[in-house]
Amino acid sequence: MHAFDYQAPTTLADAVAQLAAHNGSARPLAGGTDLIDQMRVGRHRPEVVIDIKKIAELHVLEQSASGLRLGAAVPCYQIYGHADIVAQYGALVDSCHIIGGIQIQSRATVGGNLCNSGPAADTTPSLIALEGVCVIAGPKGQREVPAEAFCTGPGKNVLEPGELLVEIRFPARPPQSGSHYRRMIPRNEMDIAVVGVGASVVLDDAGQNFVSARIALGAVAPTPLLAEAAGASLAGQPVSEESIAQAADLACSIVNPITDMRGAKEYRVQVTRVLVQRVLRAAVTRARGEQLDYVPGH
């Protein structure tokens, strides 16, 4: 690995100042589960690595009546270890449970997963489905970007040189809501998704009709996608196999997957159709307060 400087600021202001001072030649380090490997193989050669794990603002993990605040340096295991988040933000918890094994989940952050901006990242569809908003700090102050607009291409995102993801904010979950994330992988674990789907639904009081839904897709385009028309098609519809199948068809109409060793384009489209239906049914189960028969990763 090349030689680099290491800095570990303890305030957000210092981190932003240090990033800005190096004008694109510095990189934030969160858990390092992507970055260290990418530096080892020479994909990134930052002159300065700025460790953001010592910044208190980036460790916020707070659920309240106004929603969830998830700091960019919070490791995955803390998220699924938080009972209120498990109860309210199922899709996010599902995603955190399947990133690598326990060692990776002890280091890896949702913020790093998002900032790495891989099309198959397992947390991004959940952030989109749950209406996550990214809070970004930089030399010009703070700005907010919806999770679905954060990634701009494989490994690319909206962050400008000197900018840092501070936290992801989620609105409070309404009553009768549920969410789920599931991926298809060739092996049982430690693989990259062929397709990943996150969905959140809100049902009416009787639990029989959709009030609203959001569906997000991973690994089927250069960036994770919000399947807007597919989610909108469910609003006001009864919870039925027909309405769910129609939403899955609409989701398939926006995907543009590649063919690679994990699967052909046509296969990925078909997997998308199947997964969207499974994930919607699972989100409905949770919205009804019923137990979901699901083992993370399968």
Ligand X SMILES: Cc1cc2nc3c(=O)[nH]c(=O)nc-3n(C[C@@H](O)[C@@H](O)[C@H](O)COP(=O)(O)OP(=O)(O)OC[C@H]3O[C@@H](n4cnc5c(N)ncnc54)[C@H](O)[C@@H]3O)c2cc1C
Q: Which is nearer to ligand X, 85 or 121 (CB)?
A: 121
Q: Which is nearer to ligand X, 21 or 229 (CB)?
A: 21
Helix, strand, coil shares of the chain as percentages rounded to 5?
Answer: 35, 25, 40
CB 119 within 8 A of CB 216: no
Smallest gap from Cβ 235 to ligand X, in A, equals 30
Smallest gap from Cβ 112 to ligand X, in A, equals 2
Q: How far is it, in rounded angstroms, from Cα 47 to Cα 5?
A: 6
Smallest gap from Cβ 273 to ligand X, in A, equals 22
Q: Which is nearer to ligand X, 119 or 210 (CB)?
A: 119
Smallest gap from Cβ 55 to ligand X, in A, equals 9
Q: Which is nearer to ligand X, 9 or 207 (CB)?
A: 9
Q: Which residue number places its CB atom closest to ligand X?
A: 112
CB 280 within 8 A of CB 213: yes
Smallest gap from Cβ 70 to ligand X, in A, equals 11
Smallest gap from Cβ 90 to ligand X, in A, equals 17
Order of all β-strands in the sheet with 133-138: 61-64, 67-71, 164-170, 133-138, 141-146
Q: How far is it, in rounded angstroms, from Cα 262 to Cα 74?
A: 31
Smallest gap from Cβ 197 to ligand X, in A, equals 14
Q: 126-165 as b/e, with b when 16 or more CB fall inside 10 Å?
A: bbbbbbbbbbbbbeeeeeebebbebbeeebebebeebbbb
User: How many Cα atoms within 13 Å fall on the side-chain side of residue 52?
Assistant: 34
The neighbour count for residue 190, using CB atoms within 10 Å, is 12
Smallest gap from Cβ 278 to ligand X, in A, equals 18
SS (H, E, C) 34-95: CHHHHHHCCCCCCCEEEECCCCHHHHCEEEECCEEEEECCCEHHHHHCCHHHHHHCHHHHHH
Binding footprint of ligand X on the chain (CB under 6 A): 27-35, 52, 72, 98-100, 104, 107-109, 111-113, 115-116, 121-122, 159, 164-165, 190
Q: Which is nearer to ligand X, 18 or 113 (CB)?
A: 113
Among residues 119, 102, 112, which one has the least CA distance to residue 34?
Answer: 112
Q: Which is nearer to ligand X, 75 or 243 (CB)?
A: 75
Q: Which helix (H) or strand (E) holds 124?
A: helix 124-129
Q: Which is nearer to ligand X, 120 or 282 (CB)?
A: 120
Q: Which is nearer to ligand X, 16 or 287 (CB)?
A: 16
